[in-house]
Amino acid sequence: MPKMSDTMTEGVIAKWHKKVGDKVSSGDLIAEVETDKATMDFESYQEGTLLYIGPKEGEAVAIDAVIAVLGEEGEDYQALLDGDEAAGKDEPKEEKTAETAVEDKNESESGADSDVSAEDLDCTVITMPLLSDTMTEGVIAQWNFKVGDAIKSDDAIADVETDKATMEVTAYAEGTLLHIGVEAGQAAKVNDIIAIVGPAGTDVAPLLKQKSSGSAPKAKAEKATDNKEKATDTKEEQVSTEAKAGDDDSRVKASPLARKIAKDKGINLNEVKGSADGGRIVKKDVEGFVPSKAEVPKAAAESAAPATETKSITLPQFIGEEKYTEQGISQMRKTIARRLGESLFTAPHFYLTISIDMDNAIAARGQINTVAPVKVSFNDIVIKAVAVALKQHPAVNSSWRGDKIRFNEHVNVGVAMAVEDGLLVPVVRFADGKSLSHISAEVKEYGQKAKAKKLQPADWEGSTFTVSNLGMFGIDEFTSIINSPDGAILSVGAIQQIPVVKDGAIVPGNIMKLTLGCDHRVVDGATGAAFLQTLKGLLEAPIRLLA
């Protein structure tokens, strides 16, 4: 049973996707495990035949306990389960995890080192934890300790950047930090070794030989460094050309990059002085070259000389440079791209837009904020109105589940928030039963945690509907991609002061446009329109939200 969150002590087998005797490949989904955070997929990292399944569906299992064994068809695995002392002399004594059970055969062939386990050395192997349900790898943002430092069980040894946020990894062990497997800035897959803690002076080489995946990120980093050095050497050893006199600069000693820049800028290399060995012209010489008056292109000189009495226009020479920068994609941006792509190209979207008269809402908000313990925003009022409307229209508070539609009886409203690296959607749970002040305080707290990258998986999981507000940025109206697996999303525009017709007269009005994005598999046009009509009535008569 893997440790799928930093607070997990046991997991419940929600469903088995394989049965004894099935062939299993690396990456296959074996089971669904319910943790203290969410129900997550448990995938195999090995290949073989499923020889044994321990707990039944619905049973709880402590972390590190054996839940299944993979091996060769017909292979005897009973010694692993019995923990027989005699068998322990012949077989490697290992931690009772599904992973070590699967690797039994390979490790038995690896020599004397395979007979040593973390328990034998009184060490604790720290692997990359699964910190969110969509995480496949994590990047070590920084190490808070170095090899040789003393570690306590509650120390946060490293900060890990996941696809959602930057989180702390707790040691859960005491001793000396003996090994760091992944350097800061490098990525490690879930369950790869990132550190080993144990008694000072312990040789952990046998553990690393058993878990070659722990050294993979390091090898990858070394390979990347070698490639970078080769690229640098290649650039420094660019082939130069022979020099010759005259206007033809084809044989001037210059690097290919300098020659390209000179060609783009229209510079004759015969006029440029090289600063490298042997007078060779390099990039900085061309970029720093300033032509003298005598070197102004002939065409420019001719255009400056009037051929007739007609006044001609002389344009100064302008030399530009094309350049750009590139930035690596963060774990959060990878996940945003994947999930929104899946949503847009899987769920058939359609959109409905309605205009709301916000005069009464503006007046109500002003009165509420004179007595409310926290300042209530228009977005808070929209969230509350959405929650009340969803209780009346359960079809909009639904999601597509492949072979069935789930109609949620609870209302959890996701609130889209922009952060430095992308977008997060923390959830206001049971929003229909909370007061405006309660919603306001909760959203403000989420906003602070999002900016500080302190949001946890429990904060963004479980939404049934999402609200995205760009009105605060002056956007009149827009459409949003549905936050899967929700069945709909509401886009909130700015409140505009425009002329409106009331009682046959044109008067100033405050209008806000709302656009409902719907998954047509679960929400039909008439269903979405009825929801918007209810929402319009609540916002134009906000006293109904307090009733």
Under 8 Å CB-to-CB from 414, ≥6 apart: which residues? 425, 426, 427, 428, 460, 463, 465, 466, 467, 483, 486
Candidates 56, 248, 163, 212; CA nearest to 455 is 163
User: Where in 336-375 does DSSP place strands (E)?
Assistant: 349-357
Contacts of 58 (CB under 8 A, 6+ apart): 12, 13, 14
Nearest to 322 by CA among 244, 391, 263, 407: 263
Burial of 405 by CB count in 10 Å (0-12 exposed, 13-18 middle, 19+ buried)?
middle
Give the single-character DSSP code of 471.
G
- Cα distances (angstroms) measured from residue 333 to each of 20, 185, 420: 39, 16, 10
Contacts for 316 with CB less than 8 Å, ≥ 6 apart: none
**C-alpha 322 chain-centroid distance:** 31
Contact 356/419 with Cβ under 8 angstroms?
no
Beta bridge partners, 468, equal 491
Secondary structure class of 85 (helix, strand, coil)? helix
With H, G, I as helix, E, B as strand and everything else as coil, classify residue 403. coil
In whole angstroms, give the CA distance from residue 446 to residue 460: 10
Residues in the chain: 547
E strands present in 113-180: 124-127, 137-143, 150-151, 156-161, 166-170, 175-180
Q: Which of 154, 146, 156 is nearest to 172 (CA)?
A: 154
Residue pair 532/352 in contact by the 8 Å Cβ criterion = yes
Task: Give the long-range contacts of residues 535-538, CB within 8 A, separation 24 or more.
Answer: 535/354, 535/356, 535/385, 535/386, 535/389, 536/354, 536/356, 538/385, 538/388, 538/389
Active-site positions? 520, 524
